[in-house]
Every structure is written in structure tokens, then in C-alpha cells.
């Protein structure tokens, strides 16, 4: 049993300085032993409250039974209640400066009642026996920047459902989802927020319990089991994390002690009009302690491998949600949120100090510089950023009818001008397949066959483009309808040949990507990419080289976004000899037309496309073809495979 007493002066000092990075150990409800008596120590920050009590079933929700004591003038209230045990429901009864009495859930609660109920639950997070020491030893040896990364983004509540419509539990998902992702070759699973939230259809992005894993799918120990199983299969776990805002539900953080506490007092920057939420006030050190502690909490307690930080743009710009209703400026007359920027830098410094091999991924949609650069050279300190520009350009291009793509050719090539300005992840996320935007497959123009061919070409181009990769669930088998968050994915589509072939294509493409070092070894360095021909807009073709670290480790990528077959298409190549086709998205086993380059491709001593040599190849329609030079090693491999 942990021995805990009243929050220490030192911890309270650090909390008020914004430097108590494990504040969840001081605040909240902890099962402890004090003066040889077992019970629960409750502590809460409510500096403007006139009175605070702990209420629950154990005292019939009577606020007169267990009043809390203020810790000097710290704004922290605390109380030890003997004999209380795990599983007790509780809230804080807060008497506000305005004479109101409110019931609030614990901001630091480790567990919560199943919605629509809103009480916090006394819960111990100790006792789970982890089995992932090999996983963390492996992580320490690897350099993620020079490793393949394939992220499968998942909303747990709608990946798969039981026949009666009920959710799968964390443990059931550990046995099904984890094996499914591993079989497809994914290196990471990214989970939409599972911090406790009252409304299913917010998908977890409007939070009431930042320290409470949602009870929709089970207990904290159940979620630990899920993460453990991911690590057993050598899959990292990334959690969507929401430090930009919180929902206004009465039991949540909003006006917690009767005053704007976690949110700014200035309503112009407190209100998130578009989302109906409150922003966090990053100028308050206690809020900074709360948020940085929360990021570390998910890594410390649940062994999460990284956080995808939601809505970073809305944090760093003061007027991001203003809709031109007003203009707020900082003390220097600019539009940057200086306190939010400082918070982000401190957040990343704290995370990497304690978890140096973690992932901190920014969803940042503007041209803010150095998002993934270290803080000591002026960056925000993330180690990855979603490439939203690439995603928007490519989807706009792919939605264009093929006969008009030539006039939009720059949408394919522009991203290479900035591909190495940040450490990028290329995302096709849930945001692209909801709210009438249509599924990826249904965005594609053309007839039934062309839709699948276009999507295969898009995925192939994505794999060849510099940057790590992310795909939202359902994209792997060509979900025809956009994401329906109230039902499961359309698994019945596996009964249809083209959808099953799309699944097989993604699985084989993932495997090919992982075994082809030149496609990821220099993802973030200009030396890993070289144009062959970016300018063939009349035929909707781009050709380029991806290079690995070792001399001679490269592949030639040919992308044809036209429905035409080009039988004698000349491309420049860097060395003489012979090439072979090692991947073709038009293969018949994937549902393609089978326009392949069979056998060796002879190189001619004819300079072309600024390359010293060239070769004539067949380019299949709406397809990506990847070539490699024939070497002694590849000859041995080819003979072995044919045998």
C-alpha cells in the first residue's frame, strides 16, 4: 500500500510554477494508507471555491458529511476518508464565489462512470503485470526517423461491432484488431481519443476526463492489456490527444470553481464557437502542470508510444476560431498565442526528457515553420508533423477527371518543394472521409474499375513519396461509403472480388514498402529523392528516384495518373545495365489490367531526363510501377523466387 500524506509544500510550489509534471500523483483520488488506516486521499485544485466537499454513494451525496480542508493558501483542497475502497463513485461539491453549488467530476479521475452517468470512480492503476520489456528494448535501439512507419488510424467504437450493436471491449479488440493490423503489416495503431467524453459522436475530441480512459470499452487494466498485446506484435500505439480545448458539460472543467479556471477569463479566446467548447488557458501555470502531466501520464501508466496532438494550429493562433467577429493580438501586436507556443515547447521538452524514444506528432495545417524542429533551435519541438498540404493537393488532384489532370499537374509535384522542411507523416485520416466528403474510393473518378485503379495508384504514390504513412480504417479494403461512426466498417465488402483484391494490394504494398529500404531510409533528407521527370503533364506521368543510405540502393518510381497505356515510354536512369520491375499496382491479382514489364529492361547509352542513360518501359494505366537495377543479389533472389 502506498504511503501518502497531505500534498507537500514542494509539490504545490512546482504545481503553481507549471513544473509539476506528475501532478496526477498529488491531485485526484488515491487509495492510500494513513496512520495505519486504509482509505482514499482526495485532493483538488479549486482556488476560488468557498467550500469543497467529497460526495458519493458512501455519504448519500450529502455535502455536509465530508468537507475538504484547504492547504494553507494554495487553492488546493484535500481530505482523507478512511475505509473507502476501489469502485466508489464520487464528485466534488463546490460552493462558488457567487453562492452557487455545483457537482464536478474529478479533473484527475483515473476512471469514470459509463456514460450517460458522469461520476468519477475511485480506481487503482497499480497491479497490471506488463510484458513489453522486449518492445521497449527494441525501441531504444532503433532510430524511428530511418525506419519504416505505417500507421493504421482507428476509431475503436466503429471498427467492428457485435451483432447486438454493442462495442467490442479493449480485450476483445486486443485479440482481433491487433492481429488484423499486424497481418496487414502496420507498424503503429493510432487511436482516436479515448479520454473520457460524454458524447459518442464527438469521437473523443470533446473531453471531460483527461486522465480517465473511457469506460465504453472496459477498465484501465483492460486498456493496458490492449497496449501490451500491440507491443507483443511489435506495433506501437499512438493516442490522439486534445490539449486545445474541452467541452462545456456541467460536470467537466468549465468554470470549475465557479470562475474561468482551466479556460481564459477573456471570452474572446475562451470560446471555441465552431466546436462549442472552451480553450485551455496556457498562461496559468497550474493548467500547464495539468496538461504536461497528462501527456506523461499516458506514457508512464499506459505505455503509450506517442501522441498525435490535435488542432495545433488553433492553439498557436489567437484568432483561429474567431470567424472575423473580433481580432485579438498579443502584447507585441501579433496574432500568435505566445503562451500556447511556450506551453507546446515545454511540453515537448518534458516528454522527450522522460521518454526520448516517443513520438510527438503535430496536426498543424498552416505553414508555421520548424514545427518538427528542436526547441533549442527555435522549433516547436515535435518530431513529426502531418503533411496536410500534400493530402489536400493529392485528393484534389485525384478527384479531378483524368482528362483534366494535366492542367493540375502542379498538385502532384508541389509537395516535393517542401518535403524535407519538416519530418512529415502523409495522412489519409478520418477527417477526409466524413461529413459528406465521401470515402477515398468514392472520391476517385471514372467507372468501377477506374475507381479502384485510381485508388491503387494513389496508395502506390503515397508509399513512394518521402514521409511516413497513415491510413484510416476501411481504406485498406476500399470502403465505398464514407465513415459511418454509428456502425461498424462494411466488412461484407470482402465478399466482393475487387474489395478483397484491394485488401490484398494494401497488404502486399505495405510489405513491399517495409522491405524496400530506399523508400524510407532517407525519408527526411533531400539525398533520398531525385526527380527524373516532373514535367510530363500532357500524359499525367511523373518519374523519380528514391535512394537509400547505401551506394547503389535506389529504386525508380513511375506514376501514371492517366487511363492510357504507354508501351514505349522512355525514362532516364542513373546507371547502365538492366532493370527489373519489382512492383506494379496494375497486376491482375490486385484487380489491374496486367500491363507488366516482364523480364529484364535493357538500359541504353542515351542520356535522357538529365540522366546519363535511359530505358524504354511499358507504363500501365492509372498505376504505379517501381523498378530496380538488376544486381547479383537480385539475380539470386529472382532465381530463388522462380524456383
Q: Which residues are part of the catalytic machinery?
A: 310, 363
Can you read off the three cell numbers belonging to residue 268?
474572446
Q: Using the structure block, give the residue that is written with the C-alpha cell 479488440.
A: 173
Containing 567, the helix (H) or strand (E) segment is strand 566-573
Q: How far is CA 30 from the centre of its chain?
A: 30
Cα–Cα distance, 34 to 7 (Å, whole number): 13
* Polymer length in residues for the chain: 643
- For strands 554-560 and 623-629, give the pairing: antiparallel
Long-range contacts of 628-633 (CB under 8 A, 24+ apart): 628/554, 628/555, 628/556, 628/579, 628/580, 628/582, 629/552, 629/554, 629/573, 629/575, 629/577, 629/578, 629/579, 629/580, 630/577, 630/578, 630/579, 630/580, 630/600, 631/552
423-443 burial code (b ≥16 CB/10 A, e <16): bbbbbbbbbbbbeeebbbbbb
Cα–Cα distance, 550 to 248 (Å, whole number): 55
Long-range contacts of 93-96 (CB under 8 A, 24+ apart): 93/52, 93/53, 93/54, 93/55, 93/63, 94/46, 94/49, 94/51, 94/52, 94/256, 94/257, 94/258, 95/49, 95/50, 95/51, 95/52, 96/48, 96/49, 96/50, 96/257, 96/258, 96/259
Cα–Cα distance, 40 to 250 (Å, whole number): 25
∠ Cα 234 237 241 (to 5°): 170
- For strands 195-196 and 209-213, give the pairing: antiparallel
CA-to-CA dists, residue 180 to 185, 303, 436, 470, 475, angstroms: 9, 21, 28, 16, 14
Q: Is the preceding peptide bond at 387 cis, omega within 30 degrees of 0? A: no
CA-to-CA dists, residue 150 to 390, 528, 585, angstroms: 17, 18, 18
Cα–Cα distance, 498 to 502 (Å, whole number): 6
For residue 13, how many other CB atoms are within 10 A of its CB? 12
Amino acid at each position: 500500500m502506498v504511503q501518502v500524506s497531505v500534498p507537500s509544500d514542494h509539490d504545490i510550489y512546482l504545481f503553481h510554477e507549471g513544473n509539476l509534471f506528475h501532478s496526477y500523483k498529488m491531485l485526484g483520488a488515491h487509495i492510500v494508507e494513513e496512520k495505519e488506516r486504509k482509505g482514499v486521499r482526495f485532493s483538488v485544485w479549486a482556488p476560488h471555491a468557498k467550500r469543497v466537499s467529497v460526495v458519493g454513494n458512501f455519504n448519500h451525496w450529502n455535502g455536509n458529511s465530508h468537507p475538504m480542508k484547504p492547504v494553507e493558501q494554495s487553492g488546493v483542497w484535500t481530505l482523507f476518508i478512511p475505509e473507502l475502497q476501489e469502485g466508489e463513485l464520487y464528485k466534488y461539491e463546490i460552493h462558488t464565489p457567487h453562492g452557487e453549488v455545483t457537482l464536478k467530476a474529478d479533473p484527475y479521475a483515473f476512471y469514470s462512470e459509463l456514460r450517460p452517468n458522469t461520476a468519477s470512480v475511485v480506481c487503482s492503476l497499480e497491479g497490471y503485470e506488463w510484458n513489453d520489456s522486449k518492445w521497449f528494448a527494441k525501441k531504444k535501439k532503433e532510430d524511428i526517423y530511418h525506419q519504416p512507419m505505417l500507421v493504421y488510424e482507428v476509431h475503436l467504437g466503429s471498427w467492428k461491432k457485435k451483432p447486438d450493436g454493442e462495442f467490442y471491449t479493449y480485450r476483445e479488440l486486443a485479440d482481433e484488431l491487433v492481429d488484423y493490423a499486424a497481418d496487414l503489416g502496420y507498424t503503429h495503431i493510432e487511436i482516436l481519443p479515448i479520454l473520457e467524453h460524454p458524447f459518442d459522436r464527438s469521437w473523443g475530441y470533446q473531453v471531460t476526463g483527461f486522465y480517465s480512459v473511457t469506460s465504453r470499452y472496459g477498465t484501465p487494466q483492460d486498456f493496458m492489456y490492449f497496449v501490451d498485446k500491440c507491443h507483443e506484435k511489435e506495433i506501437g500505439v499512438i493516442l490522439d490527444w486534445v490539449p486545445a480545448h474541452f467541452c462545456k458539460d456541467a460536470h467537466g472543467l468549465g468554470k470549475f470553481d465557479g470562475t474561468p479556471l482551466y479556460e481564459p477569463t477573456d471570452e474572446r479566446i475562451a470560446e471555441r464557437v465552431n466546436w462549442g467548447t472552451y480553450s485551455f488557458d496556457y498562461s496559468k501555470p497550474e493548467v500547464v502542470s495539468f496538461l504536461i502531466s497528462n501527456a506523461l501520464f499516458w506514457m508512464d501508466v499506459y505505455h503509450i508510444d506517442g501522441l498525435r496532438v490535435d488542432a495545433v494550429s488553433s492553439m498557436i493562433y489567437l484568432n483561429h476560431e474567431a470567424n472575423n467577429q473580433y481580432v485579438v493580438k498579443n502584447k507585441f501586436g501579433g496574432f500568435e498565442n505566445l503562451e500556447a507556443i511556450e506551453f507546446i515547447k515545454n511540453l515537448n521538452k518534458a516528454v522527450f526528457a522522460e521518454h526520448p524514444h516517443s513520438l510527438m506528432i503535430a496536426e498543424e495545417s498552416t505553414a508555421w515553420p520548424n514545427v518538427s524542429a528542436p526547441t533549442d533551435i527555435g522549433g516547436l519541438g515535435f518530431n513529426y508533423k502531418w503533411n496536410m498540404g500534400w493530402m489536400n493537393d493529392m485528393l484534389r488532384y485525384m478527384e479531378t477527371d483524368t482528362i483534366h489532370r494535366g492542367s493540375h499537374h502542379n498538385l502532384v509535384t508541389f509537395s516535393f518543394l517542401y518535403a524535407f522542411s519538416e519530418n512529415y507523416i502523409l495522412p489519409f485520416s478520418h477527417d477526409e472521409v466524413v461529413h459528406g466528403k465521401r470515402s477515398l474510393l468514392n472520391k476517385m473518378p471514372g467507372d468501377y474499375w477506374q475507381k479502384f485503379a485510381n485508388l491503387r495508384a494513389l496508395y502506390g504514390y503515397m508509399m513512394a513519396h518521402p514521409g511516413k504513412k497513415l491510413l484510416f480504417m476501411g481504406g485498406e479494403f476500399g470502403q465505398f461509403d464514407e465513415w459511418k461512426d454509428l456502425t461498424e466498417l462494411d466488412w461484407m465488402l470482402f465478399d466482393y472480388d475487387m474489395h478483397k483484391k484491394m485488401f490484398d494490394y494494401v497488404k502486399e504494398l505495405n510489405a513491399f514498402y517495409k522491405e524496400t529500404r530506399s523508400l524510407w531510409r532517407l525519408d527526411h533528407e533531400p539525398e533520398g529523392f531525385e526527380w527524373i521527370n516532373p514535367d510530363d503533364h500532357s500524359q499525367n506521368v511523373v518519374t523519380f528516384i528514391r535512394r537509400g543510405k547505401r551506394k547503389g540502393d535506389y529504386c525508380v518510381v513511375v506514376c501514371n495518373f492517366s487511363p492510357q497505356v504507354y508501351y514505349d515510354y522512355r525514362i532516364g536512369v542513373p546507371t547502365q545495365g538492366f532493370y527489373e520491375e519489382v512492383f506494379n499496382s496494375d497486376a491482375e491479382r490486385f484487380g489491374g489490367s496486367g500491363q507488366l514489364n516482364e523480364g529484364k529492361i535493357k538500359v541504353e547509352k542515351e542520356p535522357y531526363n538529365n540522366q546519363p542513360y535511359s530505358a524504354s518501359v511499358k507504363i500501365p494505366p492509372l498505376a504505379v510501377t517501381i523498378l530496380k537495377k538488376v544486381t547479383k543479389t537480385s539475380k539470386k533472389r529472382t532465381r530463388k523466387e522462380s524456383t
